[in-house]
Structure 1
């Protein structure tokens, strides 16, 4: 199962499971949209991989 890290690894911005502002690489490094755009230019600084939108995990309604 995909690990949804709770915050941006660069700036610490909160990225809850339902966030549409989270991006990840293939190693699940997690960054917010602002950091991914500039200065990272959609490249992971850890592995060099592409940063893509992380799927949102919405709460189940009872």
Structure 2
């Protein structure tokens, strides 16, 4: 199950579970749309994989399976 990390690893922008701006790779590295597209050209700087729109979990299931609250930050 996806962690749904709460922030962009590069700029630390908030990315709530329902955000349409969140992008992830297959390892769940998480970036905002701006960093993913502008700074990283659609590629994860950690693994080189594609950064794609993060799926959104339905609200009813967020209550049962909450999103992560652990912030991951890798500036630069």
> Which residue matches 1:34?
34
Q: Does residue 13 of the first structure (1) align with residue 28 of the second (2)?
A: no
Structure 1 runs, 4 residues or longer, greater than 6 Å off: none
Higher helix share: 2
Q: Is the 8 A contact 1:11 1:35 kept in 2?
A: yes
Q: Is the 8 A contact 1:17 1:58 kept in 2?
A: no
TM-score, normalised on structure 1?
Answer: 0.91
**How many angstroms does 1:56 deviate by?**
1.3
Higher relative CO (CA 8 A, sep ≥ 6), structure 1 or 2? 2
Q: Which runs of 5+ in 1 are unaligned?
A: none
